[in-house]
């Protein structure tokens, strides 16, 4: 069995059996590239290229798995002095003194932008550690879908801490001896509990509880130190912070304190017949003593909002950076969300007063077709990384689709040939500086040359490779032979596994590298923190580029006949859209603090949200980074037309204030930077206003063309704006509604047999193989 065929297996079960994980990366044997279909990956960096960082802070068991990069806890494995990890509602940090624990509280932080950021920083209140031995630096000992084990050990002695998203507890198992609890400032023991197993402490104006085993003796050693004398054979305890001072809240937390979380699993299931995604969250527990009351799970707003299955069952809430986190006494819960679909491209425009203008833009873009992707390699290294190349591939393939729909098949073929040539050049691995390296010790494929710390910090995998996967899918829809595993499809399958493996054994790649199944969105920083901002946890800026990757999985799965990949993409896309609407846009008004005056947030961290970018505080780019690339999957942005108008109005106000402050850099961007993105965004609410606002000679974003911008706006003017109230029983569909109420129905058939599509309002559309069908 060759590597390419293994890659194409559903859900990548038993991936990459040809090579052992952690195979040595030195010596002449490993320096040879590994063939993947017609392409190849390098098993060691070339020349003077620096390798990705090592991840030594893992137990022996964890070292047999791929490194979990770009997760909320990834700082643990890369750093001997890790940054805090934000589990929500609690935060933790491993130090030489032990495991710090806190319940973060809101801080309103003014900025030079004349707005505020909302921070919930880790400020340690308790430090828990073994009394009988001095642990070595902490190591990641185990991971499941939303919980981790942290080992603080020395030899055979170990304090094992389990922390989980949404859990109000940290669970501890101690191999021998007693537990020491240090307070970061003098506290007092509260007298609310009559259970001798419970140590209730007031520290920094907050109440913490430690629940020991039957027979524990709590001894105060000083104003800032307590010792828990644990009885023989009962080396366990849990710790929590209380969200309020009500006795019934303490009783609830005490009741569930001995159901220790052992494992967590998230299973998303896409039902094509109803176009719904049902996600089941299940925690497996071990009851350490007493009756089995089950666990307490903390539900984020995207879990409990509009969820009838948990209505009337929710308990007290923690105030967190993600909004109210409600407790649910259950081992499992479900969410059900609609998948609204999209089609690869929109149909032919055959009439209208601006049709000639569209054809003129198409001809001009075709004349410069070889400039649409940045030069492969150049002397000043300008935009040659895989990120910019991927954006260029998007420009070319989107333009090819328009040429195809407008009947210019010769132009389509020329553009697809350019896209194939560039992808094959990269995938071939024979260029001087541009190649893919598979670091098997990490379980990561990275692209050289490095940019944005992609290699140095293992950043932005889903952003970079998402562009490539979606462009490859556009080729595969028209040239299935090119996408065969033994040709170039094997390399694309490798990139899919690199960002979205579902293999729970995690032997070759981490499970869902960037995606956080409990928070419902992705993280971007591979090593977990980001320089001075590491104290506030991992982060993601461009939520829209994450969605671009998941749309790419859907298209790739459909184009190659792999429903497992397609369904995974549907789950990821639907779930992340739901999270974006809560945590980036706050459409439901349940997350943003009243002090936060911005319409949206452009950067979501483990411990803060902010209206900014990594590279500039210029308002247009701050707003645009969570919109681009605007493509056919972007119809989700049309859910709230009033929000679109508010967002754009806020951007104009901020831009005026920015210019007034005189903060322009030495080489300022165009005053209309990304005007194509904002015109397309406005068109989702008001196509006529968008067309009036757009300057055909204005700036153009690096992943777009004037042709695609105008085609997008004219299409929405003809079809109407997206109608998200109607679903269909196929993954590639879209519905639009004109102001007069007339709907247009689209569906794409990637298969080889005729497809009958039934929409939820009863309309039926027959679609021929390999075509886009339309019904009015």
Tell me if residue 541 is catalytic. yes
User: How many Cα atoms sit within 13 Å of 78 on the Cβ side?
Assistant: 26
Give the confidence band of 500 by pLDDT, cuts at 50, 70, 90: very high
> How confident is residue 736, by pLDDT bands cut at 50, 70 and 90?
very high
Mean pLDDT, residues 73-102 taken together: 97
The conformation of residue 84, written as its DSSP 8-state character, comes to: P
Cross-strand bridge partners of residue 159? 152, 174
**Tokens 């493509």 identify what position?**
631
Question: Per the structure block, which two tokens stand in for 723?
Answer: 């109608």
At 170, is the pLDDT very low, low, confident or very high (cuts 50, 70, 90)?
Answer: very high
pLDDT score at 27: 33
DSSP state for residue 80 in the 8-state scheme: S
H helices present in 274-385, as ranges: 301-304, 355-367
Could you tell me the pLDDT band of residue 191, with boundaries at 50, 70 and 90?
Answer: confident
Interval 75-86 mean pLDDT:
96
Local confidence band at 28 (pLDDT 50, 70, 90 cut-offs): very low
**pLDDT score at 108:** 98
Say what the pLDDT of residue 381 is: 53
733 Cβ contact partners less than 8 Å away, ≥ 6 residues apart: 275, 341, 342, 343, 727, 745, 746, 747, 748, 757, 759
Quick check: bond before 89 cis, omega within 30?
yes
pLDDT digits (tens, 9 = 90+) for 529-571: 866 778 999 999 999 999 999 999 999 999 999 999 999 999 9
Angle CA(594)–CA(597)–CA(600) in degrees, nearest 5? Answer: 105
Catalytic residue among 83, 149, 541, 704: 541
Cα separation, 203 vs 623, in Å, equals: 40
For residue 457, what are the contacts with CB-CB under 8 A and spacing of at least 6? 53, 525, 526, 527, 530
545 catalytic residue (yes or no): yes
Estimate to the nearest angstrom the gap between the alpha carbon of 619 and the chain centroid.
23
Residue 460's pLDDT band (cuts 50, 70, 90): very high
DSSP assigned state of 487: I
- pLDDT value at position 569? 98
Q: Which two tokens stand for residue 441?
A: 């010790």
Residue tagged active-site, from 149, 365, 516, 545: 545
Tokens 């299973």 locate to 267
Give kind and range of the element (H or E) at residue 75: helix 75-78
Give the model confidence (pLDDT) of 251-263 as tens digits: 999 999 999 999 9
C-alpha dihedral, 193 to 198 to 204 to 206, nearest 10°: -60
Instruction: Tell me the two tokens of residue 700.
Output: 């153009």
pLDDT at 382: 53
Neighbours of 746 (CB within 10 A): 25
Q: What is the pLDDT of residue 576?
A: 98
Q: How far is CA 159 from CA 98, 200, 237, 284, 672, in A?
A: 10, 21, 11, 21, 57
Kindly state the average pLDDT of the residues 568-588: 98
Specify the pTM.
0.96
Rounded Cα–Cα distance for residues 333 and 390 (Å): 38
Q: How many CA atoms lie within 13 A of 771 on its CB side?
A: 12
Per-residue pLDDT, 61:
96
Instruction: Give the pLDDT of residue 32.
Output: 86
Identify whether 629 is preceded by a cis peptide bond (ω within 30 of 0): yes
- And the tokens for 211? 């629940």
- The C-alpha atoms of residue 750 and residue 765 are separated, in whole angstroms, by 15
How large is the average pLDDT for residues 63-86?
97
Residues in the chain: 776
pLDDT exceeds cutoff 90 at 204: yes
SS (H, E, C) 405-445: HCCCHHHHHHHHHHHHHHHHHHHHCCCCCCEEEEECCCCEE
173 three-state secondary structure: strand
Give the mean pLDDT of 722-735.
Answer: 98
Helices and strands in the chain, H and E counts: 17, 38
Task: List the structure tokens of 743.
Answer: 């709907």
| DSSP state letter for 289 | S
Q: What is the DSSP string of 580-631?
A: HHHHTS-TTSSSS-TT--SSS-SEEESSEEES--SS---HHHHHHTTT-S--
pLDDT digits (tens, 9 = 90+) for 208-251: 999 999 999 999 999 999 999 999 999 999 999 999 999 999 99
What is the C-alpha to C-alpha distance for residues 412 and 397, in angstroms, rounded to an integer?
A: 9
CA atoms lying within 13 Å on the CB side of residue 496: 38
> Which pLDDT tens digit goes with each residue over 626-677?
999 999 999 999 999 999 999 999 999 999 999 998 878 888 899 999 999 9
Among residues 44, 77, 56, 58, which one has the least CA distance to residue 439?
44
- Across 72-122, the runs of DSSP E, i.e. the strands, are 85-86, 91-95, 98-102, 107-110, 116-119
- Site of tokens 């609690």: 90
What band does 14 get if pLDDT is binned at 50, 70 and 90? Answer: very low
Is the model's pLDDT at 1 over the cut of 50? no
Backbone angles phi, psi at 148, to 5 degrees: -135, 155
Mean pLDDT of 113-141: 97
pLDDT digits (tens, 9 = 90+) for 312-350: 999 999 999 999 999 999 999 999 999 999 999 999 999
Q: Which two tokens stand for residue 218?
A: 């709590």
Q: pLDDT at residue 142 above 60?
A: yes
* Averaged pLDDT of the chain: 94
| DSSP calls for 502-534 | --TT-SSS-BTSSEETTTTEE---TTS--GGGG
The span from the CA of 446 to the CA of 430, in Å, is 16
pLDDT band at 92 (very low <50, low <70, confident <90, very high): very high
At 493 the pLDDT is 98
Active site residue: 115, 450, 460, 558, which one? 460
Task: For residues 369-375, give the mean pLDDT.
Answer: 89
Angle, CA 88 vertex, CA 55 and CA 69 arms, to 5°: 20
């Amino acid at each position: 069995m060759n590597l390419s065929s293994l890659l194409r297996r559903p859900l990548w079960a038993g991936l990459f059996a040809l090579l052992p994980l952690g195979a040595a990366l030195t010596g002449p044997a490993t320096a040879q590239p590994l063939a993947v279909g017609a392409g190849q990956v390098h098993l060691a960096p070339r020349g003077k290229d620096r390798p990705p960082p090592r991840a030594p802070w893992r137990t022996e068991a964890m070292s047999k798995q791929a490194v979990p990069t770009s997760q909320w806890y990834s700082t643990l494995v890369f750093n001997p002095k890790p940054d805090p990890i934000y589990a929500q509602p609690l935060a933790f940090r491993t130090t030489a003194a032990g495991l710090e624990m806190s319940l973060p509280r809101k801080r309103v932080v003014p900025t030079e932008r004349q707005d505020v950021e909302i921070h919930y920083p880790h400020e340690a209140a308790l430090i828990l550690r073994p009394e009988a031995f001095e642990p070595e630096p902490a190591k990641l000992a185990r991971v499941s879908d939303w919980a981790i084990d942290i080992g603080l050990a020395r030899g055979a002695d170990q304090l094992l801490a389990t922390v989980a998203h949404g859990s109000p507890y940290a669970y501890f198992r101690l191999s021998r001896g007693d537990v020491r609890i240090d307070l970061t400032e003098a506290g007092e023991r509260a007298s609310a509990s009559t259970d001798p197993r419970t140590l209730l402490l007031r520290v920094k104006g907050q109440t913490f509880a430690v629940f020991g085993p039957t027979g524990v003796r709590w001894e105060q050693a000083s104003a800032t130190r307590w010792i828990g004398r644990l009885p023989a054979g009962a080396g366990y305890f849990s710790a929590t912070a209380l969200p309020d001072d009500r006795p019934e809240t303490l009783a609830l937390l005490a009741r569930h304190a001995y159901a220790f979380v052992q494992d967590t699993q998230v299973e998303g299931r896409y039902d094509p017949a109803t176009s719904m995604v049902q996600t089941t969250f299940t925690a497996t527990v071990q009851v350490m003593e007493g009756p089995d009351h089950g666990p307490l799970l903390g539900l984020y707003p995207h879990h409990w909002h509009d969820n009838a299955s948990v209505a009337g069952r929710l308990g007290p809430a923690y105030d967190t950076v993600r909004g109210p986190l409600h407790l649910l006494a259950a081992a499992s819960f479900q969410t059900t969300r609609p998948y609204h679909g999209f089609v690869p491209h929109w149909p032919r425009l055959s009439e209208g007063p601006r049709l000639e203008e569209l054809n003129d833009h198409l001809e001009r873009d075709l004349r410069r077709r070889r400039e649409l992707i940045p030069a492969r390699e150049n002397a000043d290294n300008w935009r040659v990384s895989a990120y910019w190349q991927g954006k260029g591939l998007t420009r070319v393939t989107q333009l090819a689709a328009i040429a195809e729909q407008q009947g210019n098949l010769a132009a389509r073929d020329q553009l697809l040939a350019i896209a194939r040539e560039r992808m094959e050049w990269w995938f071939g691995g024979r260029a001087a500086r541009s190649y893919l390296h598979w670091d098997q010790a990490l379980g990561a494929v990275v692209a050289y040359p490095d940019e944005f710390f992609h290699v140095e910090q293992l950043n932005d995998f889903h952003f970079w490779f998402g562009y490539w996967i979606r462009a490859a899918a556009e080729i595969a829809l028209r040239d299935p032979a090119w996408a065969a595993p033994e040709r170039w499809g094997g390399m694309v399958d490798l990139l899919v596994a690199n960002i979205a493996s579902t293999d729970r054994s995690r032997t070759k790649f981490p499970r869902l590298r960037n995606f956080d199944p409990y928070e419902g969105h992705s993280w971007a920083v591979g090593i977990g923190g980001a320089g001075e901002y590491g104290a506030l946890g991992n982060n993601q800026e461009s939520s829209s580029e994450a969605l671009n990757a998941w749309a790419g999985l859907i298209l790739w799965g459909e184009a190659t006949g792999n429903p497992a990949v397609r369904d995974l993409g549907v789950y990821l896309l639907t779930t992340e859209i739901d999270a974006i609407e809560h945590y980036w846009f706050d459409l439901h008004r349940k997350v943003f603090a009243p002090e936060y005056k911005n319409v949206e947030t452009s950067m979501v961290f483990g411990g803060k949200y902010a209206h900014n970018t990594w590279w500039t505080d210029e308002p247009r780019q701050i707003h645009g980074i969570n919109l681009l690339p605007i493509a056919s999957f972007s119809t989700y942005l049309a859910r709230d037309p009033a929000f679109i108008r508010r967002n754009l109005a806020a951007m104009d106000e901020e831009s005026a204030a920015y210019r007034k402050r005189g903060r322009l850099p030495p080489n300022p961007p165009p005053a209309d930077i990304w005007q194509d993105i904002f015109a397309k965004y406005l068109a989702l609410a008001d196509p006529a206003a968008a067309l009036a606002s757009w300057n055909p000679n204005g700036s153009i974003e690096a992943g777009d063309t004037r042709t695609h911008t105008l085609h997008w706006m004219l299409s929405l003017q003809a079809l109407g704006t997206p109608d998200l109230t109607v679903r269909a029983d196929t993954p590639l569909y879209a519905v639009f509604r004109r102001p007069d109420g007339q709907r247009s129905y689209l569906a794409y058939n990637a298969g080889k047999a005729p497809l009958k599509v039934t929409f939820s309002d009863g309309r039926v559309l027959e679609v021929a193989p390999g075509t886009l069908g339309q019904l009015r």
